[in-house]
Structure formats: C-alpha cells, structure tokens
Structure 1
C-alpha cells in the first residue's frame, strides 16, 4: 500500500506506522473510520530522520527529549547539538556501565549529542554539514533492506 500511495501522490515524503507526511494535500475521508486516512494537521516542518520530525507544532522525538521545537535547531551552524534531559538511569544501564547501584531509578541530568546525520537506519543519498543546511535542500533516502515481491 505504501508503494501505491507514493505512485498516486509523489508529494509523499514519509510514511510512518500511523501517518503519512506530504508536501501537498491528499485525498482523505472526513469520517475517520478504521483504516481510513483523516486530516490531522499542516504547517512548516522538518524531518531530521527516523523518529525525529516536526510538522507545525507537533514534535516526534523518539530517543531525544527536545524541549524547544525542532525548527529552532535549524539555526545551528554545527552538525552536532547538545540535548539535555533529566531522566532516571535504568538498572540495565547502571550494570552495563558498572556504576554504583544506588543510581538505579535516580533522576540525573543526561547530555546527548544530536548529530544532524544521526539516522543510520536508512541509506541517505548525502550528508548535511550543519543543521542550518537542512533548510536549504532535502536529502533523499532509501530503506537499508528492501525486497521486491512478485505478484
């Protein structure tokens, strides 16, 4: 069904489990019954990679808890942005790093470095030199693994 949608609507730029992102309006049902597409929102947006995108005011930040909107990252002249979050350490993380056991479930300030080219789950047709460059052009990608099934 993904291939059919992309053939019908070349403006589709991303297909997720629960959504389709397009640069142009798509035909959809006003009822919103099970299995049908419904309109959710529109606006300026950015897709930085799998699980990290923003459309209008809606952010998806799997693995990163970015407090500001993702569009603000596009002002950065670097290819890495530090992202701070407060979260508890899991018991697995504590054991893996051989840390003191009293850190389990203790909330700590954790800094992650978000690289503009972080997504290694797809084959990207190019890299960005900085977050700011994302505003200037798109980089296409393909799934890492694909197979063609004959019908």
Structure 2
C-alpha cells in the first residue's frame, strides 16, 4: 500500500513538473514575441532609422568621405546599432534564427548594400587604428549567417 502511494506521489510530481515546464516554455515564447514586436515597432517608428533604411533599400545610399560627421552617418550608425543589437540577442540565444523572419528582408537589404559594407569596413579599420572595439561586432557575424 505504501509503495502504491509513493508511485502515485511520484507520478503526480512528474506531471506537475511537466506542466510547470510547459508553462515556462509558453511564457518564454510569449515574452520573446512581445520583445520582437517592440523591436519592430521601434524600427518602424524611428524616422531617422527608417529614412536611411529606405535610401539603402532603393539604392540611393552612397558611402564616401563626405559621409563622415553628417546627419546621414549618425542615422546609419543608429540603424547599424539597432541591427547589431538584434544580432547580439541572437548570439546570446535570446532569439532564434526563425525570429529573423520579421527583420530578415530589412537586415539582408542593409547587409548586402555595397555602401553599407564599405562603411562597416571603414568602421572596422578605424576602430582598430584607434585601439577601440568595433561598435558593430555582431553585424559581420550576421552577414556570414545570411550569405548573399
């Protein structure tokens, strides 16, 4: 009789742990979805980021020496920082590759643009020459994750 009670208690504990684990999994997915939605809202509501993104998307962004210290450079840095942070979340394991579907088009458009690639190369070299960390370390990793 005591063994039957122990078996029932162990079974109840196992079921309770299973339910708790499932609830944690569901809550985690919901929090991740809410976070991604807030990032998407930020991207679409930030006119500086959105404007420079559209220049890139339609092939109107050109990187040259006149770009430095301009408003456009600041806007591009903001856009690159935004996507670098998304990369950081991915490499920390807080979002997964399927979550990139929401930002995938924008991210690929930006990371495949010749002007953006040239600017990122300049920033990498500039940072190294000044013995400073690259401000966008995750973007290169993202480019490798989503090749042309």
Normalised by the length of structure 2, the TM-score is 0.23
Higher Cα radius of gyration: 2
> With CA pairs under 8 Å and 6+ residues apart, which has the higher RCO, 1 or 2?
2
